[in-house]
Amino acid sequence: MHDAMDRETAVAAGDDETVDALTIGRRIRQVRAAQGLRLEELAAAVGRAPSQLSMIENGRREPKLTLLQAIARALSTTLEALLASEPLDERAQREVALERAMRGQTFRTLGISPFRIPRSIPDDVLDALLSLHGEIERLKDERAATPEEARRANLALRRLMRTQDNYFPDLEEQARRILTAVNHPGGPLTQRTASDIAAYLGFTLHYVADLPQTTRSVADLKNGRLYLSNRLTAKGDPRTAVLQALCSRILGHGEPTGYAQFLRQRVETNYLTGALLIPEGHAVPFLQDAKKDRAISIEDLRDAYSVSYETAAHRFTNLATRHLGIRVHFLKVHESGTITKAYENDDVDFPADRLGAIEGQLCCRTWTSRVVFDVDDHFNPYYQYTDTSAGTYWCTARVQTSSEGAHSVSVGVRFDDTKWFLGRDTPHRAVSKHATEVCCRRAPAGLEEAWRDNAWPNVKTPRTLLATLPTGAFPGVDTTDMYEFLEAHAPE
């Protein structure tokens, strides 16, 4: 009894995951046609008008349970057979797919009214219509991948990070499990240990000269091979590229279905990579001792684990609030002044757009992250106090270069927490009023009056301003290039 009621409810509701009116209607037509029975004959057998049965077969009317039972008897089959979830024949599947497409937003937007699909329409015409519909849907998805969508996704992720103080226990546990499995004793993670982690996960490492230009690494999941550029051994940290590639496998990432998921996966990968390079169990006592000595230093953390300054700075934000009770902020700023990465849980007032997104905004000209570009001494860290409307903050910053130009990386805390850090005795001080236009976003009145009508810049337009974000499940990756690469390098 309950099964029958559940099925009737499912039919009435049009539940796509069980049975729906379209599927049931096509299955009735499929069984009727296989028995050589005309529509009029079936209609007479169940005491209904042919037009009513036609609407049922076309999925435009939801049949009641009693009528379905009568149809099943007339077709010498069972109700269960009509409600079965087995696939329809290929023709029926095409018709159902097109019927569903016609009921969707795309056809309505194009002004195309749903039409009856007669048997006379060839299969290749149905395939062409479905292909066109799929391509329109794909193009709509590409247009949706705008910089605004990226900012919204970034904002949502940053809010999640703030609620957890940028500390993710599940990722820390994953790192502990992997490091225990390869018997890592703590301290700097060696290149050999990175190779041991790869072997533990079933991968061999292969350094090649022809890695696709749009990728950092490519994993051949079928043959257990991880390909990396042989240029990594000449510059940069080869451990990071290996670990970033492996972390996606450790975390079980699937193909992302949208930009937000792609961004979340990248953050998880970078977090886990940092947790492997700077293990929580070893780094926390190191930082706690530094706090007792009032000598916390990002440079010391960097040197202790042989990582980049940016990796050390990121990792510090993971551990500072949870284990040291220190609220922090982090900024990565391009030499043009554009903020590319940001995190804060110390109430610092970063510039933001109307969505609340920080990335893409111009950093205040007087903030440590901008001032450091004008400092001649790039060997020693730069420290600065900055007075703001939200209070006084102290920051330490470094400049690092890459193929995308110079970036500054800075970590800062509120004035009350400065006592725990080296560099607190700096004489450098500034005032930031970026909440008001005159501070950064608008030139001082005198300068503007003198030059506004006498200046015409030739703008260096960022290419991302004129295009949507790179498309595809993995934005920016040339999949054809990647697949051809894997085919060429796959073992015989």
pLDDT in tens, 310-339: 999 999 999 999 999 999 999 999 998 889
Give a three-class secondary structure readout of the chain: CHHHHHHHHHHHHCCCCCCCHHHHHHHHHHHHHHCCCCHHHHHHHHCCCHHHHHHHHCCCCCCCHHHHHHHHHHCCCCHHHHCCCCCCCHHHHHHHHHHHHHCCHHHHHCCCCCCCCCCCCCHHHHHHHHHHHHHHHHHHHHHHCCHHHHHHHHHHHHHHHHHCCCCCHHHHHHHHHHHHHCCCCCCCCCHHHHHHHHHHCCCEEEEECCCCCCCCEEEECCCCEEEEEHHHHCCCCHHHHHHHHHHHHHCCCCCCCCHHHHHHHHHHHHHHHHHHHCCHHHHHHHHHHHHHCCCECHHHHHHHHCCCHHHHHHHHHHHHHHHHCCCCEEEEEECCCEEEEEEECCCCCCCCCCCCCCCCCECCCCCHHHHHHHCCCCCCCEEEEEEECCEEEEEEEEEEEECCEEEEEEEEEEHHHHHHECCCCCCCEEECCCCCCCCCCCCCHHHHHHHHHHCCCCCCCCHHHCCCCCCCCCCCCCHHHHHHHHHHHCCC
Average pLDDT, the chain: 83
pLDDT in tens, 421-456: 999 999 999 999 876 665 666 667 777 787 777 777
Instruction: Report the pLDDT value the prediction gives residue 86, as an integer from 0 to 100.
Output: 63
- The whole-angstrom separation of Cα 341 and Cα 330 is 8
pLDDT at residue 470 greater than cutoff 60: no
% of the chain at pLDDT higher than 90:
37
Lowest average pLDDT, out of 75-84, 210-219, 281-290, 339-348, goes to 75-84
Instruction: Report the pLDDT value the prediction gives residue 472, as an integer from 0 to 100.
Output: 53
pLDDT in tens, 135-189: 887 766 655 556 677 778 888 888 999 999 999 999 999 999 999 999 998 888 9
Instruction: Report the pLDDT value the prediction gives residue 146, as an integer from 0 to 100.
Output: 62
Whole-number CA gyration radius for the chain: 31
